[in-house]
Amino acid sequence: MQIKNWKEALNLISLELTYQEYNTWINQIQYESSDEKSITVSVKSKLVKDIITERYLKIILEKLAEINDKEIKINIIVKPQTERKSTKKAKAVSKETKLDPRHNIFNLKYVFEKFVVGDSNDLAAAAAKKIADYPGKYWNPFFVYGGVGLGKTHLLHAIGHTVIDKYPEKKILYITGESFMNDYITSIQKGIMNSFRLKYRNADLLLIDDVHSIQGKEGTMEELFHTFNTVYAAKKQMVFTSDRPPKELKKLEDRLRSRFEWGLTADIQPPNFEMRESILRRKVQEESYKVPDSVIRYIAESFSWNIRELESALYKLFAYQDLVHEEITLDLAKRALKDMISVMSVDDISIDLIQKKVANYYNISYSDMKSKKRSKNIAFPRQIAMFLARRLTEFSTTEIGNEFGGKDHSTVIHAISKINQKYENDETFRIKVEKLTSAIKENH
Ligand code: ADP
Ligand code: MG
């Protein structure tokens, strides 16, 4: 059997015990290993083992059999604290093992306690918290937008977790824009639109992630429009996330776009240096690694436009350290992250220099960078320049917008997110961007 089955069994067990019992006893059990017919778990003392065996063995075996469709043997071993993997890690896991199995719809790590709040996301975070505490009471809908990897999904899941805990009776529906569309299409094909409608329109809390992806999909937009109206009229809470603000969802029907603006719209901006540092510190604390300040600073300086990148750099460093068993030092970090960091020591690069270099590379004039022209051959290099400005300088998206002929910061965010996506998915493009980056740095 797989560890996944064990977790599923825990969920079923949790449904039948009180929170107290589950937390005091079941949560102490640590998964060790398993094969086809049996599972080995550990607890930290004989006493715990005896109590679990006496009171809970029956239900554990029952649930394991249920999930695996056959009898599974369980072997409980006693492992004193020091021998168990990392106590810190074990603690983190047990905290995440929540009572209500619906928590598993969401990423268990995406909770409010783990969301670092700073200038770039304070409105979005505060509003999300309020909505989670009092769904349906404040703004409807709540619309969060921002670039890739900045915490939109994290906030959405945090709302879900909180509502499950605070209002267990509420029906929660979480879906991405894309899955909503697929569900819609399948329901039409199967001729079960009634149950589709019932499902969405009955939700007390409707969470739709990345709603921008339904742009231009006629039928889906229409269906969401009607869903919106029903849920809204019933005063049930809706939360949407998107990579751009409603007014820039150009291919959305007007009536749907205007509804998205009925409630509260909040953006998440890329984090500034201090915030990147505190995010890293928080993540280091959560795992049990020792990371010196110089290394935190180094990572915070090198990964400046996306929290997911920041995180993966840190995890890569941890993985590297586990492999080489050396103390984490600046030198080790540089070695571990050398593939990820192509940009180093880039103090004081000006936006002006970036604009000139990019204009030159794409054969457009420098003044086009600041113009309002929207033809693709100009808009695209301009977006790349915005992306590089964010990546290579410390300017905020508002400041960057100003340098591009007074563009709104949401335009800049959209540009960065668009280019970032292409950068991540398109190898040839990535090489081009890296070349441009080196050219800018050389001139500096
Ligand atoms: P998005 O949905 O905007 O693309 P995610 O919510 O998936 O971004 O976030 C990307 C990663 O960054 C996740 O692992 C998330 O936990 C982490 N993250 C984002 N914002 C924060 C924050 N403010 N504090 C801590 N972690 C964050
Ligand atoms: Mg997301």
Quick: pLDDT tens for 42-59. Answer: 998 888 888 899 889 999
Residue-range domain boundaries for the chain: 3-81, 114-268, 273-344, 348-443
Tell me the average pLDDT across 182-195.
Answer: 93
75, two tokens:
């072997």
Looking at all shown ligands, the one closest to residue 155's CA atom is: 1
Q: Is 110 in the pocket of ligand 1 (CB under 6 A)?
A: yes
Is pLDDT at 73 greater than 90 in this prediction? yes
176, two tokens:
């991405």
- List the 30-34 sheet strands across, edge first: 30-34, 38-43, 73-78
Looking at all shown ligands, the one closest to residue 114's CA atom is: 1
Q: Looking at ligand 1, which residue's alpha carbon is closest to its atom 20?
A: 151
Q: Is 308 in the pocket of ligand 1 (CB under 6 A)?
A: yes
Output the pLDDT for position 83.
55
| Residues 289-338 pLDDT 10s | 889 999 999 999 888 778 988 998 999 899 888 888 889 999 999 888 88
Q: Is 149 in the pocket of ligand 1 (CB under 6 A)?
A: yes
| Residues 344-399 pLDDT 10s | 445 668 899 999 999 999 999 999 999 999 999 999 999 999 999 988 887 888 88
Q: Looking at ligand 1, which residue's alpha carbon is closest to its atom 26?
A: 115
| Residues 235-264 pLDDT 10s | 999 999 999 999 989 888 899 999 999 999
Is pLDDT at 224 greater than 90 in this prediction? yes
Tell me how crowded residue 278 is: count the other CB atoms within 10 A of its CB. Answer: 16
| CA of residue 252 to ligand 2 center, whole Å | 19
Dist. CA 321–CA 440, nearest whole Å: 33
pLDDT grade for 444, boundaries at 50, 70 and 90: low
Q: pTM to 2 decimals?
A: 0.63
Residues facing residue 34 across a β-bridge: 39
Output the pLDDT for position 87.
47
Is pLDDT at 145 greater than 90 in this prediction? yes
| CA of residue 245 to ligand 2 center, whole Å | 15
Tell me the average pLDDT across 20-32.
Answer: 81
* Top mutation candidate among 305, 308, 309, 315 for ligand 1, by most atoms within 8 Å of CB: 308
Q: What percent of the chain has pLDDT over 90?
A: 58
Output the pLDDT for position 89.
47
Q: Is 154 in the pocket of ligand 1 (CB under 6 A)?
A: yes
34-47: burial string, b at 16+ Cβ within 10 Å, e else: beeeebebbbbeee
| CA of residue 316 to ligand 1 center, whole Å | 17
CATH topology assigned to domain 3-81: GMP Synthetase; Chain A, domain 3 (3.30.300)
Q: Is 400 in the pocket of ligand 1 (CB under 6 A)?
A: no
Is pLDDT at 27 greater than 90 in this prediction? no
| Residues 160-175 pLDDT 10s | 999 999 998 899 999 9
Backbone dihedral angles phi then psi of residue 5, each to the nearest 5 degrees? -65, -35
Index of the ligand 1 atom closest to the CA of residue 125: 23
Q: What is the 3-state secondary structure (H, E, C) of 63-79?
A: HHHHHHCCCCEEEEEEC
pLDDT grade for 342, boundaries at 50, 70 and 90: low
Q: Is 106 in the pocket of ligand 1 (CB under 6 A)?
A: no
CATH topology assigned to domain 114-268: Rossmann fold (3.40.50)
Q: Is 259 in the pocket of ligand 1 (CB under 6 A)?
A: no
Closest CA to 311 of 322, 325, 296: 296
Q: What is the CATH code for 273-344?
A: 1.10.8.60
- Judged by DSSP in three states, 379 sits in helix
Domains 3-81 and 114-268 agree in fold: no
Output the pLDDT for position 96.
45
198, two tokens:
């019932």
Output the pLDDT for position 333.
93
Dist. CA 417–CA 426, nearest whole Å: 14
Index of the ligand 1 atom closest to the CA of residue 154: 6
Is pLDDT at 343 greater than 60 in this prediction? no
Best-predicted range by mean pLDDT (61-70, 175-184, 283-292, 423-432):
175-184
Sheet strands (E) in 177-220 = 205-209
Tell me the average pLDDT across 81-97.
Answer: 50
Q: State the average pLDDT for the chain.
A: 88
Q: Is 279 in the pocket of ligand 1 (CB under 6 A)?
A: yes
| CA of residue 376 to ligand 1 center, whole Å | 31
pLDDT grade for 98, boundaries at 50, 70 and 90: very low
Is pLDDT at 425 greater than 80 in this prediction? yes
CATH topology assigned to domain 348-443: Chromosomal Replication Initiator Protein Dnaa; Chain: A; (1.10.1750)
Looking at all shown ligands, the one closest to residue 308's CA atom is: 1
